[in-house]
Amino acid sequence: FPGLMKGLIASRARNVTMEMKLQALYALADLIKDDLRTDYILPDIFDNRLAPTISEAIIREAQKEKPSD
């Protein structure tokens, strides 16, 4: 996903978890939920909202998963 690596690097996550991938998918789905059509099931790769939305979802999930010190 565009934004996946950006989110991993920004959050300093050591692993990609299933929950991170799911949150990225949910964020992706939220981008197109109002425009969903049979010919539009994924946003355009050049959609400026795509990478920031995915990276923010990854960062949020990584912060939830970080162990408390």
pLDDT in tens, 25-52: 999 999 888 888 888 888 888 899 999 9
For residue 21, what are its two tokens? Answer: 């991938």
Look up residue 40 and give its amino acid: Y
- Specify the pTM: 0.84
pLDDT at 69: 52
Ramachandran sector of residue 12 (left: φ over 0; alpha: ψ -120 to 50; beta: rest): left
Residue 1, pLDDT above cutoff 80: no
For residue 52, what are its two tokens? Answer: 């920031």
Distance CA 46, CA 61 (A): 24
